Amino acid sequence: METLIERTGCPIYYGDFSCIADKCKKSCCIGWEIDIDSDTLSLYKNMEGGYSEEIKKSIKTENGTSFFALGKDERCPHLDDTGLCNIIKEYSDTALCDICRLHPRFKNFFTGYTETGLGLSCEEAARIIVNSEEPFHIIAESLYDESLTDEEKEIIEIREDIFTALTYRELKLSERLTYICREFGINIKKLNPEKYIDKLLSLERMDEEWTAILKEAGKNSFSFDILDSEALEIPFEQLSTYFIFRHFAKCLEDGDMESKIKFSVFSILFLAFLMNGKEDKEKLTEYARIFSSEVEYSEENTDKLYKIF
């Protein structure tokens, strides 16, 4: 597992994660084209004997980018029949390229301070996030390191206020989300997920299962009630803080806080919409995983949604 560096922050649940490898039902080693970073590519080229020849044969380079060419059923060529990675078996995880070594982690970069989170596209990460009971907070040496710029400090402070509001369990979650939207001048009713199915269907899609889910959702009616249900209020709260943690800091790139709030709140409302009144935590976890895989893990899709709200 990755070693956290000095002045690094991570969610309270970060340390609970470890890859479940062959027990994973939706392997990240299937369907994803894996780019190989330059340092690891050099490592592979200089390996000799043993399994190294299989690694070298599996690498393709197009337009200056090297990657593993997927095999039958879009499986990584190094994924064995039991769901384990041959590179890890032969050389340990130190021989993995950056994408494989870090997945499903994502990073928020500040001046002299880096945050690391767990991405929902991984079923085990999604399970941990959805089932976490403790109110979300970031474990960090200091959120306000002197190396941060004034703009970064302001964004982090605003985000902390959002986290505080989202985890204020004296209010219903629907009330907390409405309050946050109001603070940013957003009408939450305009984020009604029923209106955005066609837009989601127009985005790039990888899995036909996602297409079927979206088309089936067209028969649903949206209600805030599921957000406040006894079984799912805390899971939805954890997902709410996840989306803010993952997306809000991106406003440092474009100065647009509003779009990041809208995207985060819409993501929660859409997951609630997919549930169609069913208080099923496992189903919510799976919907969160596939939503993340199809939307968050496509920069093009995420950018399009940032712009339409």
pLDDT computed for residue 144 by the predictor: 54
Strand order in the sheet with 138-140: 105-110, 113-118, 8-11, 138-140
For the chain, the straight-line distance linking the first and the last C-alpha, in angstroms and rounded, comes to 37
How large is the average pLDDT for residues 261-269?
98
Query: What pLDDT sits at residue 27?
Result: 87
Cα dist from 254 to 158, 245, 307, whole Å: 16, 17, 12
pLDDT digits (tens, 9 = 90+) for 124-167: 999 999 999 999 999 986 555 678 899 999 999 999 999 999 99
- Alpha carbon of residue 307 to chain centroid: 19
pLDDT at 2 over 50: no
Average pLDDT (67-77) is: 91
Q: Do the beta carbons of residue 267 and residue 288 sit within 8 Å?
A: no
Count of other CB atoms within 10 angstroms of residue 121: 23
Q: Which amino acid is at 212?
A: A
* Residue 244, token pair as written in the block: 């803010």
Q: What is the pLDDT of residues 206-240, one digit of tens each?
A: 889 999 999 999 999 999 999 999 999 999 999 99
Token look-up 């499903």 returns 104
pLDDT tier, 309 (very low <50, low <70, confident <90, very high otherwise): confident
Which pLDDT score is estimated for 21? 85
Tell me the mean pLDDT in the region 185-201: 95
For residues 284 and 238, the answer to whether their CB atoms sit within 8 Å is: no
User: What torsion, rounded to 10 degrees, do the Cα atoms 23, 24, 28, 29 define?
Assistant: 40
Beta bridge partners of 114: 8, 109
Which tokens belong to 201?
């269907």
Closest CA to 205 of 195, 194, 215, 192: 215
Q: Which residue do the tokens 């496509």 mark?
A: 298
Rounded to the nearest 5 degrees, what angle is found at the Cα of 218, between the Cα atoms of 215 and 220?
130
Report the pLDDT value the prediction gives residue 5, as an integer from 0 to 100.
Answer: 40
- Mean pLDDT is lowest, of 20-29, 88-97, 99-108, 150-159, for 20-29
Instruction: Give the integer Cα–Cα distance in Å for 138 and 9.
Output: 6
Higher pLDDT, 270 or 140: 270
Lookup: tokens for 308: 């339409």
